[in-house]
Chains A and B, each alone.
Chain A
Amino acid sequence: MEIRKGIAVSPGIAIARSMVIDSKDHRIPRRSIMASQCAKEVKRVREAFSGAIAELTALEAAKSIEESKIKDIFAVHLRFLRDKSLRKRITDYVRDELTTAEYALSVTLREIASHFARMDDPYISERAADFYDMEKRLLTQLLGKVREDVEHLTSEVVIVAHDLSPTQTASFNKTFVKGIATEAGGRTSHTAIVARSLGIPAVVALEEVTLTVTADSTVIVDGNRGMVIIDPNEETVKEYQRYASELSQFEHRLYVIKDEPAVTRDGVNITLLGNIEFDDEAEMVKERGGDGIGLYRTEFLYLYNDSEPTEQDHYEAYAHAVRTFESQPVVIRTMDMGADKYPQSGRRPVESNPVLGLRSIRFCLQNLTMFKNQLRAILRVSVLGDVRIIFPLISNLQELRQAKMILRDVMEDLDESGIGYNPDVPVGIMIETPSAALTASLLAGECDFFSIGTNDLIQYTLAVDRANEHVSTLYSAADPAVLSLLRNVIHDANKAKIGLSVCGEVASDPEFIMLILGMGVRTLSLAPPMIPEIKQVIRSVTLKECNQLARKVATMDSQRQIKNYLRDVAIKILPEAF
């Protein structure tokens, strides 16, 4: 039994057998198999060879005589793939070392490659490249087969991988894919977001998890505590089965309170909004008792379309959510991603540090046609309900002024075309850079509301990339530096009497709720599944207690001390949630 700690990105408990998806671009880890699986793995090696031979034969035939050099290379590779002694070396490795076909194949070909690379004759030493090429071709055969298997599952599995693309994750069949565990990724990665919207428990940033998992072993994914347990003992499995059933009862009780107001025991009303990614999640927010949409991420429009989304694409996606909430607020965030992720961006500047580069509002301000398209659509839906616009990653006053100026341009265009919109549409900004937090009093003078995006604010303040498993433990909302910035922003917003909400992950963390209420926040925007639980926390506390707690935290000097204190208090208030 082995326990790995990662980041919980999608709640729930899954207990199932593992299915590992390796990547040919990533080192294939040594994965053990049982002696009884030997024959199956040997068969997979043989099938990979026949597949690769068929592929190469077709490729060779397709080449013309003029391409005789390439033909020659293929001919040589074919001889190697047909060489029984090469195949035998790999199948012997599977039998002797009891590893998966992928590992045996990779390690054998790399051994041969390095044998060649060591030779003095440059012509022969360069042949090492041929073996890496053959390795790739054979691995593609093996991994492609696994991918097909994932699409045609017949039993429940936990998917274990280095990384998954959003498309891959979105194609998972929820009936059989019970949990996800990956090495890469962070809470805000698209895998995480898709897993959450599908309701599949997921844990990411698990260092070297693909190395630890043996094929077909039992894995528990604890998407609440951010843990993965590999080969659990019987006792642990029973404990988790009990925990899972308790959780579902707890969830049921939370569901019952969905129509109750989010009000503290001493009568202070708190507004709970939902963060959404896809328009159909608006219903989920409503079902869970949310008061509106506090953050409508619009990146999916760009990521899931091959061509640039039209104004009408934008309009339809927004109109649905706005109609769902009628007079309740829907805060639409303008495009928030980097040039590196924007598939329609023809010229993709290679940036050495994209997180500090041309992304989000900066990218929009340089791609006005695209930006104006989105703004027009948002303005057009503004007549359907309480629509608000929020600009992401504002890092100085100048950017806010520019963005507002472009919004005014678009309004004038609409006036000229006689298209209706709400001229008083509230305009807010995300506070997610230290520079914005430090100049909050200036920014507050020129916008209608703030929404604190704690995820980026923490990353930029602490200089930590949470998706990087080597430093992710340094990432903490409880860091005194982060809390100091939050205090500043909350103070300035309340002083300027503008709207204020917290929409980062902190708002869905039961441990942090008392602290942020005590610091003066009255509106939270969070992941829809978490709304009932957070409401339950709010209904269990008094604002007086929250204020006391916030004052006490202000005297503490370390992340660890603060975190422990918040946890202790939270467990007393709502023991079932922890």
Chain B
Amino acid sequence: MFFGEKAVLSEPVYEIEVEIKNADGLHMRPAMRFVDLAGTFVCDIEVSNDDTYVDGKSIMQMTMLAATRGTRLKVKARGPDAQEAIKALQELVEEKLFDDSAAAGSGGQKA
């Protein structure tokens, strides 16, 4: 799944592309879950919808992306725990569909 994996300035950088699959898109509550999770990592996390990169730890910037269902987002992490961060965020977006309580895959919405 990882398509970019290289070290810059001795800090690991990981980048993936995820698809928003839940019905409501990246609205307030999903954005909140994303930001909360991103905030648990020390690495820098940037998210892009192709136009601009925003801070993945800022709820304001994340919601301003206004990503709807079907949008593909690039997520870039740079820092010591970047790999774990990327993995966890991908799981949140694509498998848990932003819902921590739901079991992975139970939504049956996988593309």
Contact = CB atoms under 8 A, between A and B. Distances in A.
Interface of A: 72, 75-76, 79-80, 83-86, 112, 115-116, 119, 121, 123-124, 127, 130
Most chain A Cβ neighbours within 10 Å, of B27, B28, B32 = B28
B51 to A, nearest CB: 14
B66 A80 contact: no
Contact of A80 (B25, B27, B29, B59): B59
B35 interface: yes
Interface of B: 24-25, 27-29, 32, 35-36, 55, 58-61, 63-64, 66, 68
Contacts, number: 46
9 contacts: A76-B32, A84-B58, A85-B58, A112-B60, A112-B64, A121-B68, A123-B24, A124-B66, A127-B27
Contacts of A79: 32, 35-36, 59
Query: Taking chain A's interface residues, is the majority helix, strand, or loop, or is none over half, making it mixed?
Result: helix
B27 A123 contact: yes
Contacts of A124: 25, 27, 63, 66, 68
A83 B58 CA distance: 6
A123 B61 CA distance: 17
B38 to A, nearest CB: 11
Contacts of B68: 121, 124
A299 to B, nearest CB: 48
Given A83-B58, A85-B61, A112-B60, A76 B66 contact: no
Query: Taking chain B's interface residues, is the majority helix, strand, or loop, or is none over half, making it mixed?
Result: helix
Contacts of A112: 60, 64
Contacts of A86: 58, 60
Contacts of B64: 112, 115-116
A83 B60 contact: yes
Nearest to B27: A123
Contacts of A72: 28-29
A83 B66 contact: no
Contacts of B63: 116, 124, 127
A93 to B, nearest CB: 14
Contacts of B29: 72, 76
Given A76-B29, A83-B58, A127-B63, 5 more contacts: A72-B29, A80-B59, A116-B63, A124-B66, A127-B27
A130 B28 contact: yes
B37 to A, nearest CB: 12
Contacts of A127: 27-28, 63
Contacts of A119: 66
Contacts of B59: 76, 79-80, 83
A121 B60 contact: no
Contacts of A83: 58-60
Nearest to A84: B58
B25 A123 contact: yes
A85 B61 CA distance: 8
Nearest to A86: B60
A319 B32 CA distance: 66
A84 B58 CA distance: 7
Most chain B Cβ neighbours within 10 Å, of A79, A84, A116, A130 = A79
B55 to A, nearest CB: 6
A410 B28 CA distance: 65
A308 B34 CA distance: 56
B99 to A, nearest CB: 13
Q: Which 9 A-B pairs give the minimum distances between C-beta atoms? A: A79-B59, A85-B58, A76-B28, A86-B60, A83-B60, A119-B66, A83-B58, A123-B27, A124-B66
